[in-house]
Amino acid sequence: MKLFLFVSMIVAFAFGCHVDSEEDEIGMSTISYITKDEDTRQNCDGASDEDLDGDGYTCSEGDCEDRNVDIHPGRHEICDDIDNDCDGLTDLDDDNLLIYSETCDGVDSDCDGEIDEDDDGDGFNCDDGDCNNLMSSVYPGADEICDGWDNDCDGDRDEDDDGDGWECFEDCDNTDPDVNPEAVEVPNDGIDNDCDGKVDER
């Protein structure tokens, strides 16, 4: 590794650069190069003003952070205290700000100063285990209903939530174990006990 650093420094000097080296978290040496005539990081391959992060924009084309593929002209501004679209404005000061519903992504999506809050008003936020912060019918402990969603946030969708042995798509009431296709119809209770589409039939 020391030999590699030594050789890299010689190559950098040949291109008019100096070398900054440091060790990462696992003890491996990482190298960055800074040109003498420009205070911008380069890879010292002989070319200048390259698109280092591969986002399609170079520094001369307005990329204000050429080491981050998510920052370049034309991007939407989001609430993260970063100038995402390189127009000199951040967050609420930028007319290009993209505001959307709060989701569990660690970002202040709706730009209200809170992160991953209870945006659907069901009483649960992301930290409470709400697996879908856009639907008030989805939260830990909710009744599982046949809608294609994991309503109770247990990792399963449309499962047998009432424990009567019938999956949601077969059970016409997945919250009542006494209601399922094999149940006996109870007269005058106003319920379709046997899930045949008829109520209180004889």
Number of domains in the chain: 1
Work out the widest C-alpha separation in the chain, in whole angstroms: 96
Model-level pTM?
Answer: 0.43
pLDDT for residue 21: 45
Q: What is the mean pLDDT of residues 115-120?
A: 80
29 belongs to a structural domain: yes
Instruction: Determine the average pLDDT of the residues in 163-184.
Output: 89
List the domain range (segments joined by +) for residue 39: 1-46
Q: Looking at the chain, which runs of residues are DSSP E strands?
A: 17-23, 29-35, 41-42
Residues 19-35 have pLDDT tens digits of 444 444 444 444 444 44
pLDDT above 70 for 170: yes
SS3 assignment, position 124: coil
Q: Is residue 41 part of a domain?
A: yes
Q: Is residue 166 part of a domain?
A: no
pLDDT in tens, 56-99: 998 889 989 888 998 999 988 888 888 999 999 988 888 888 77
**Whole-number percent of the chain with pLDDT over 90:** 20
Picking from 79, 114, 115, the residue whose alpha carbon sits closest to that of residue 96 is 79
User: Would residue 8 count as lying in a domain?
Assistant: yes
Q: Is pLDDT at 125 greater than 80 in this prediction?
A: yes
How far, CA to CA in Å, does 34 sit from each of 30, 44, 57, 71? 14, 8, 20, 21
Q: Within a domain: residue 28?
A: yes
